[in-house]
Amino acid sequence: MSGSEDRLRDEFEACFGGLAAIGQDPAGGWTRLAWTEEDRAARSWFESEAAARGLTVDQDPAGNLWAWWTGPAGGSGEVVAVGSHLDTVRRGGAYDGALGVVSGLVAVGELAARGVEPRQPVAVVAFADEEGGRFGLPTLGSRVLTGALDPDDVLGRADQDGVTVAEAMAAAGVDPAGFGPDPARVGRLGAFVELHVEQGRGLADLGQPVALGTGIWTHGRWRLTLTGEANHAGTTRLADRRDPMLGLAAAVLAARAAATELEAVATVGRVVVEPNSSNAVPGRVSAWLDARAERDQTLDWLVAAFEAAVMEAAGRNRLEAALALESRSPGVELDPDLTARLAACLRAGGLEPPGLPTAAGHDAASLAAAVPTAMLFVRNPTGASHSPAETADLADCLAGVRALAAVLEDLACR
């Protein structure tokens, strides 16, 4: 192994190890919820790692941290940013978010060590509260930054202990006054690239270390209410029953069938049964459908097939059925030109990156609305994520860092 490869490996291991030491949960995994003591420690870790590489750090009004290679100057569309997030879900893995931030810092350090000089401003970003694990709003920092979330609504959101975002930020030493979007900063961005550990088995199955993101799946949540008639489980004849549980059973199977048919995913993970008694035919069942697909139209087809099957089952069982949309995020297409440029960089480095869509949300989705955005995924051998079992091999992580360094050199340094 050459000296520069040794250096890259040592830098990566030291940097990744420093962050992985923060927020280890005694119950297993890593817990760094937004604006907690652990998150605060991770943020100050970021500041010292940036300083050690000669980067200057500032904070935007949405609470995200930016480490600048050349200072935060730069005109419209000139800044090239890479990064991800430092927070985790409860008892999550060591790589989700962390890998993108560490890889960004190590890639910039590697370019500087090789004497490469930026001709455009370069920033490594650590987005605040990506997971939504505490306040229930995922990609909070990036969506407030771009103006997709109302800052006043966000500040008043409370966690399960009744602590609001404003109070939590203040307790973590960040003044919530002025919390809000930063259109000028977003306008200075010319490209954003998020490297992330893959949260599925796509790369493992393809035998490749690094992939390019093609897009982020559209995602929706619907509430299904099935109303029948509560009655005695012993004395009500089968022919006389209006049992909404039969409608639910048909609905769960219909969701699975439609998702299989359309190569999408659908989950019924939450059910409320009334009266929820073991010796009564239920009177009402509410269930939540979480469905995700690569394209908006596919999701429309999935929900239409689900609804048709549910209505048919409701008719057969003499139920009233209502399906209501609770939330929907559109699919995000990553920038094809930027992605093609990344592909050329990676091929020049000897990789053959496949394109992979993702069904998970990312800060890249928030940025993509305003800035040409691309994603890199690093192989996850088991596909486990949001779990202590999440992992990536060192060699693949280093391939990701080298890919990110090549991309930064191409976009900002020549």
Q: Which residues bind Zn ion (CB under 5 A)?
A: 96-97
Q: Which is nearer to Zn ion, 139 or 298 (CB)?
A: 139
Distance from C-alpha of 359 to C-alpha of 200, rounded to nearest angstrom: 9
Q: Can you list the pairs that 327-331 forms with residues at least 24 positions away whose Cβ atoms lie under 8 Å?
A: 327/220, 327/221, 328/218, 328/219, 328/220, 328/221, 329/218, 329/219, 329/220, 329/361, 329/365, 330/218, 330/296, 331/215, 331/216, 331/217, 331/218, 331/293, 331/294, 331/295, 331/296, 331/299
The closest of 355, 341, 312 to 406, measured between CA atoms, is: 341
Structure tokens at 85: 């997030």
Q: Which is nearer to Zn ion, 68 or 127 (CB)?
A: 127
CB 130, min distance to Zn ion, A? 6
CB 317, min distance to Zn ion, A? 42
Q: Which is nearer to Zn ion, 97 or 151 (CB)?
A: 97
Distance from C-alpha of 405 to C-alpha of 411, rounded to nearest angstrom: 10
CB 362, min distance to Zn ion, A? 6
Give whole-number Cα distances, 41 to 61, 171, 253, in Å.
20, 13, 46
CB 361, min distance to Zn ion, A? 8
Side-chain-side CA neighbours of 390 within 13 Å: the count stands at: 25
Q: Which is nearer to Zn ion, 32 or 402 (CB)?
A: 32
CB 64, min distance to Zn ion, A? 14
Give whole-number Cα distances, 259 to 10, 265, 267, 355, in Å.
44, 5, 9, 21
CB 234, min distance to Zn ion, A? 51
CB 95, min distance to Zn ion, A? 9
Amino acid identity of 99?
L
Residues facing residue 191 across a β-bridge: 80
Q: Which is nearer to Zn ion, 69 or 377 (CB)?
A: 377
CB 82, min distance to Zn ion, A? 14
Q: Which is nearer to Zn ion, 60 or 87 (CB)?
A: 87
CB 381, min distance to Zn ion, A? 18
User: How many other CB atoms are there within 10 angstroms of residue 375's CB atom?
Assistant: 31
Q: Which is nearer to Zn ion, 199 or 298 (CB)?
A: 199
Q: Could you tell me if 102 and 64 are in contact, meaning their C-beta atoms sit under 8 angstroms apart?
A: no
Q: Could you tell me if 409 and 398 are in contact, meaning their C-beta atoms sit under 8 angstroms apart?
A: no
| Residue with tokens 């977003």, as numbered in its chain | 186
Distance from C-alpha of 129 to C-alpha of 142, rounded to nearest angstrom: 9
Give whole-number Cα distances, 226 to 267, 270, 323, 330, in Å.
17, 14, 9, 27
CB 141, min distance to Zn ion, A? 12
Q: Which is nearer to Zn ion, 99 or 293 (CB)?
A: 99
Q: Which is nearer to Zn ion, 97 or 220 (CB)?
A: 97
Q: Which is nearer to Zn ion, 146 or 358 (CB)?
A: 358
Distance from C-alpha of 321 to C-alpha of 291, rounded to nearest angstrom: 19
In 53-181, which ranges are continuous DSSP H helix? 98-113, 140-146, 151-156, 165-171
